[in-house]
Structures are given as structure tokens and as C-alpha cells.
Structure 1
Amino acid sequence: MTTSNHSGVSHTVFRLLGIPGLEDQHVWISIPFFISYVIALLGNSLLIFIILTKRSLHQPMYLFLCMLAGADVALSTSTVPQALAIFWFHAGEISLDRCITQLFFIHSTFISESGILLAMAFDRFIAICYPLRYTTILTNTLIGKIGVTIFLRSYGTVFPIIFLVKRLTFCKSNILLNTGCKHIVLAHVSCDDIRENIWYGLFVLMSTVVLDIVLVFISYVLILRAVFHIPSQDARRKALNTCGSHVCVIILFYGPGIFTTLIQRFAHHITPHIHVLLASVCILAPPMLNPIIYGVKTKQIREEIVHVLFTRQK
């Protein structure tokens, strides 16, 4: 690794600016952040409670949904409170260790969500292509192993980033143009050569999220092929309906991320606050909308939510 000439001073405390260029609008910007966080917490906590307490929902599809809801809560909590502290109290000061901890949980939780969505695609593939063997293939033991593998993969791939960041000297600036700590955002204020950080970040992205997207796509190609071989039109429609919620969540999770990545790579003329707002949408939207999508489109979940919210009030 080559190192540029710089003084021995390395910042250990940084200042998060929030949305650069829109500091005077932070109070107004905080409103959708706060609303989305409350909805994400309440909606996903309700999903987890319903799935864990109702034995009729102890099925593979709902257990994976429970994992997704837990990851949504973790992703929201690792990002939104920090942003709200900046918007409301100008509390953007953060130590290097806390910054690294935050970026570790943001990136690992994001990768976990991607892995859970892949597991849910696998669940739908087995349910539609091998319906008679569904319960014998997707046993509770296998679901547990899949869950452990997902979280070990996410933490294992992101863990080396801690050491890649720790080796850097931060003498350019201690100002971070963001609402939270991200790997490359932090690396860019270093005086050192960050090519190793960039290449490892690309490796993590390709070996996790991009690979998951490819495998999810292959799963749905096989699912569609199986569905269109079903002779009954009614059975075909029913099979497609079981995938509807999952497809919506996939589009919601990967769509903004892909769009944001393309904007960052090719639209260099766009102002920094647009980049930060787009990145925020990637983190805010899925945790808020996932429980709503499943609550509206999944009959069993909808019925249990109505029972929990309204029956007990009588």
C-alpha cells in the first residue's frame, strides 16, 4: 500500500453534516425520517409478535418473513436515530470507533436482508416446483441453518472492513457529508491510498448482493416456467399470488439500490444532497413498506393483524 505525504495527525472524531446543502431544511426533512422509523418499528414488531405467537404461522415462509422483519428493525435503528439527532439537535459529532461500529451494522444488516430475500425466493421455488416435498425439504432444522448461514455470511464479509478502515490515517477532513457512517464515505476523508478498501468493497458487493440478485432471478425464471406448465388457470393464478408480496419486496429492496448506484457512477454532476437523499430512501423505504405489503397482500397475516388490533379492544 502506498501512502501519500501527510502529517501525523489523524482525526478520531468526525462530524456528520446530515443532508449537505439543505441544513436549513433539516427540521422538515426529519418528518418523513421520523414517520418512516415509527412505522418500521411498529409494523415489523407487530409482524414478529404475530408470527412468533401464532403456531399456525410457524411455516417456512413466515419464519423467513420474521427474519426479514428483524433485519428491518436493525437496519432502521442503526441509521435513523443518528439522522434524527443531527436534524433535531445538531448532534453530528461521532467518534471513529462509533463510526466504524455503525458502518459495520449498516452494511452487515443490508447484506443480511439480501440473503433473507434469497432464502424467501428459494422457499417460493420449493413451494411451487416441489409442493408435495415442501415440508420435508424445508424443515425447521434447515431453516435454522439457512438463518445462521445468512448472518455468518453478512458479518464475516463485512468484518474485514473494520481493519481496512482502522489502518487509514484521516488527515484530510473530519467532516462527513452524510447522515450516517458508510465505508467509502469514511475512506474518502483519508490521506492514504484507499484502493484496497474500494476493491474489497466491490468484492463484498459482488459476492453477496449481486450474487443474490442473480440467484433470485434464476429462481423466478424456474418458478415462472413451472407456473406456466400448470394446466389449471385458477391454480396458476393462485401460485403467482403466493409470490406477489415477495416480488414487491424484492423490487422495493433492490430497485432503489441499483438506481442509486447507477446515479453515483454515471451522474457525477448531481449535487451531493441528492446522493444522500437517494441513499436514505434505500434504507428508509424497505423497513417501512415491507410489513405494509405483507399485511395487505397476505391473507393469513392480514387476518391475524385484524384479530390482534381490533378483537382485543372489544
Structure 2
Amino acid sequence: MYERTLFSVERTGEPTPKADAFCPSREGIFRRAIHTGGGTPIFCKSRTYRFTFVLFVLVACFCQSLAASSQGIDVLKQFQAGNQFYSQGNFKEAIDQYLRITRTNFVNEIIYYNLGNAFFKDNQLGMAILYYEKARRLTPGNLEISENLNLARTRIVDKVESPQEGFLLRQLNRLLNFLPLDQETGLAVTLFVAANFSFTLFVLAKSERLRRIALYASAFLMILFLMVGASNVFRIYQSATIQEAIILADKADVLSGPSEDNPTLFSIHEGLKVKVQAELNQWAQISLENGWNGWVKTEALGTI
């Protein structure tokens, strides 16, 4: 058995997040996210119109709406409590409040961003990077999140050399990840509708000048739709097939197989991002950007 460790560099100084965990301008956004995310009762047509049944449905829907509203109020209180603890320097309590929100299945980039900052301040590098990555997936174009993530990465022990991307590929990746996936989907639908509207105008218009403008607009919008649609399909495929994770353990030994009896190939450290290729019992097969791969215990990983 032999062991090799990734090349590591010594860091001087300690980076700190550029932005505070909470910006007052974000609370309005967070409030709207709570109210829109609570859900609304859905009324379905029924073949029976008995008064008791209708009354039961109305009461049930009212209770559901009330519960959703109550949950939204609780989430907001926990969010404000977390911000208060953070401003007081009590990062563990702030983390606890933010994590309570995530357990309600409430997904929001501000919560993930605040968690990243709180974990960073609490010297939990792996968890900080994990939640920065989660926040960036929801808003890939957010500069604050990207800058704080890059600052946190400077504290990673392992230095993995990734294949160099060409200029065009780098710009393409930047373009593909400019918008969140749901917004890109909405943009594709909007472009498709606009292209069809322009083509309909081309067919129905009597003015030759208007027909020409509508035809050019339709062709241009359809080209944009195909580009955005292709990007959207590619990103959906990526999210469905590629699973990424962050190393949360201080040090994780990567073995040649999914058992303790296998030899150690190399060691990796907290904060490193890896791709999960497969899982077997309590083990996960991972790969690094430089092509190295092996098996680690799943308890050492945090899935993005």
C-alpha cells in the first residue's frame, strides 16, 4: 500500500467574505419568496355537490392556506433570528436558525449564501463551500456569491490542476451559466411564443414592409430560441446526470475499491469539489478534475 497526497500550498492570511450575511435590501426579496413559495389551495371539480362535502373542502383548503401562511411567518422569524445571531458574532446559533429553514424544504439562494458566510466565519470550510455552491446554482450570475466562493477556495489544502479551457469554451460556459435554469427555461418559452407571433404577423399582414419586418424578426427570434433551448436541454441533462459533492472531512483517503481492505491511492482534504460517479453501500466512487478517481466513504461528502 502506498499513499500520495495532492500538491498543497501554504496560505498566508485569512480571507473573509466581502459581503455581510444579510443585506437590508434582501429582506423584501426574501419576504416575497416566502409568500409566493407558500402555495395556494387548489379547488377541483367534483361530481357531487353536497353542501357538507363543499364545506369540508373549503375548511380543508382554508386550513392548508393557514398552515402555509403560518410556516412562512416562522421562516421569516428564523431568518431574522439568524441574522441577529450573525451580527452578534454567534455564528453557531446563526447556522442553527438558517438550517432550520432549509429543513422546511424552503429553497432560497439568500439562505444558502448566509449559511456559507456563517460556516466560513465558524471555520467550517467544507460546509461554507458547499452552501456557496448551492447558492451559486440558484443564481449563477451573482458576483457576491462567486467572489466569496473564490475566497473560500483559497483555503483549500489541495491544489488540483484542471485541464486548460480555450477562450471560446470558457466564454461558452460563462454564457451557458449566466441565468438560473428556471429563468433560462422561461426565456426559451418567451422566445418561442414571440417567434410564432412574428410568423403569424408575417402571414396575416397585408403591408409588404410589415411582412418583411415580421419575417426577419421571426427568423431572428427562432435562432435565439434554438440557441437558448439547446443550452437549456444541455443544462438539464447535466443536472440529471452529473452529481457533484464537496469533501467535508478534514482528510479523506481515496481507496482503489469500496472497502477498507483496498489500498489507499491518495488523500484529499476539506473543501475540494469532486464528481460522484457511483455509490455502493456506504461508499462513493469519485473523480477529480485531473482525472484521478477512487472510492471514499459517503459520510465524508456533502452533495451540492
TM over 0.5, shorter chain: no
Structure with the larger RCO, 1 or 2 (CA within 8 Å, 6+ apart): 1
TM-score normalised by structure 2 residue count: 0.30
TM-score (normalizing by structure 1): 0.29
Say which structure is richer in helix: 1
**Higher alpha-carbon Rg:** 2
